[in-house]
Amino acid sequence: MKKTLALVMLLCITLGAQAQLLWKISGNGLDRPSYVMGTHHLAPLSIKDSIAGMKQAMDETQQVYGELVMENAMKPDMLMKMQQAMMLPADTTLKSLFTPAEYDSIASVVKTYIGMDLALFDKLKPAALTTQLSVALAAKSVKDFNPQEQLDTWFQAQAKQAGKKVGGLESMEQQIDVLYRSQSLQRQAHLLYCAATTIDYATLQAQRMTEAYMNQDLNTLLEIMEEKQNDSCDSTPQEEDTLIFGRNADWARQMPDIMKQAPTLFVVGAGHLPSQRGLLKLLEDQGYTVEPMK
């Protein structure tokens, strides 16, 4: 499956137990604390009602920052840019990127999980099809998964309803580049084939990660996400830097100025929080006190 989450290499030992999703950021000159919340794209909205300190974090902050402004992603011009980035060059087809046997294997899985013939996707980049396969897999294997109800969107909608500012740590263009332009077509094709031929493993991973997240157990979640197959299907160090660690560093550089403007609730994927190169440690290294809400 698309490894946007399965990329964390080391757990952050210095932060101790990580059975928490919401963290308070204070000190280092901040007049009032800010907060950072870890989300999971397969988790139902109901998880928010069991997170300690959530009402406090929402009441005490004046703005919400996500990975990007979700509302902007649905604007017609952004949808068009996304669609264009998902398409193969005019001289390339999806079928041309695989051997006949590989193509047949992928076609079988796509038919089973998406319910459509692979030929209908012949102008789609492999990475885009891997994303669609991920969503279809989640819908079939994870209880209560609803792609129309996402935590990231919910937090931003609540902020907007309350008249609070909503901001993004990166632009839609940046996310498009990461998802569909950061890897060669050959590498995208190989990872799609990996997804198709390890579908049972991916199903189990999705279920285990969601269960760990619902238990608010970041340690277990990240242990699962950092599991390797020890083959070419594993993410490379460069891919990990592009998808996780480089973005963490960029966000950590932005967050101090954002927090100085106003108390902020940051809402980002849970996989970005721990590890020696995770947001929690990067903020600590800048002199902030980072502690779990209880």
Main-chain phi, psi angles of 120, to 5 degrees? -70, -15
pLDDT exceeds 80 at position 9: no
User: Average pLDDT, stretch 199-214?
Assistant: 89
What is the model's pLDDT at position 12? 31
pLDDT in tens, 267-285: 999 989 988 899 999 999 9
Q: How far apart are CA 118 and CA 121, in angstroms?
A: 5
More confident residue, 12 or 172: 172
Q: How far apart are CA 226 and CA 35, in angstroms?
A: 25
Q: How far apart are CA 1 and CA 112, in angstroms?
A: 15
- For 27-67, strand residue ranges (E) read 34-39, 63-66
Average pLDDT, the chain: 89
pLDDT in tens, 110-147: 999 999 999 999 999 999 999 999 888 888 888 777 77
pLDDT in tens, 141-190: 887 777 788 899 999 999 999 999 999 999 999 999 999 999 999 999 99
Q: How far apart are CA 187 and CA 53, in angstroms?
A: 42
What is the model's pLDDT at position 10? 27
* Number of other CB atoms surrounding residue 91 within 10 Å: 6
Question: What's this model's pTM, rounded to 2 decimal places?
Answer: 0.88
Partners of residue 269 on adjacent β-strands: 39
pLDDT in tens, 36-54: 999 988 888 888 889 989 9
